[in-house]
Structure 1
Amino acid sequence: MRILIAGLIVGLILLCAWAGRLGVLGLSLAIGGTGAFELYGSLRSPSAAFRVLVCSVYLLLGIAMLCFAIVLPPASIAYIYLAVAVFDLSRRFLPAYGTITGLITALAFAVLARNFANLSVAGALAAWLWIAAAALAAEMTAAWIKRKSGIDRFGRWLPQGGVLDRFDGLLFAAPVALVILGR
């Protein structure tokens, strides 16, 4: 099952890279539409661990789709300028905003999803530390590869980088998470 999920994630990334902006928009609408029905059904499930898992997955999918919101075809060009201005403003006042938000979200996910992986709170925190360290190592490795190659970003389709720039932290974190949580 974990290999299937990892394959689906890689396939989803490749599909987004191949389909471009309209493909990402269609995929976002499809995930959002089916997710609303499945989320409603799972919230009525008697299993608390299943409810937490499904809600966490859809929360992460929602965050991922919000990251792509600047790429989607907007109603007007002013939307892009507004989104970039808000993003730059938040980075200017809180330079570590993305890192802190990511660590807090990952910590909350680790504690909430510990029942799914049969981990204690201490085990969930240890898993969180290992996965966060692997993601940081992947980010640093990708930056090193780009610096050694003399390139600024991995692609030109998306603003501020390519598709791999969005998911380079998963290159090391996903296998570590599969090993830790799949024991």
Structure 2
Amino acid sequence: MSQQEHVAVKGSDVEIIEFQLFHRTSGGGRNPVHYGIDVSHVREIIKVPETTQYPNSHPSVLGIFNLREHIIPLVDLASWLRAETNAPLSEKRVIVTQFGEHFHGFLVDSVNRIYQIENTKMESCRDFQQHNERDCVQSVVRMDGRLILMLDFRAIIGSIESGLEVHEPAALGA
């Protein structure tokens, strides 16, 4: 199955949320890079919540927060992508995702809008991927003269969870 077919069934429409990270340029300016996520995995978009530090977590995890009875890790997506951004925290947003019963928050610089696109507009990027641990682009969408990189959030979450050092409490009397 190709990456295009993995995102949605051929010929069908998919809704995506476009968001941005403003990558820092060598001159100190801001270069917007456009990313996308399938709407079906987005629970909600919120302002940046207060977080509690979580010991021994992945370096990209800023902490955890409570949202509607769920304890959710907050992932700095720019940090995970190894991109320096310079947007003020007050302007950033958190995309809360849900995959099965698992929730994660992803810190992004801005959220633009939702698009409904034909699956055929999602182009494979296998020809130029570098195939390393941070390859997380599933496909690319051409939209109004720009490219939107569709990220594989399951792969990002998997790499973060495999890097977490979770310690089980010692059994009583052991």
TM-score range, shorter chain: under 0.3
Structure ranking higher in helix proportion? 1
Structure ranking higher in strand proportion? 2
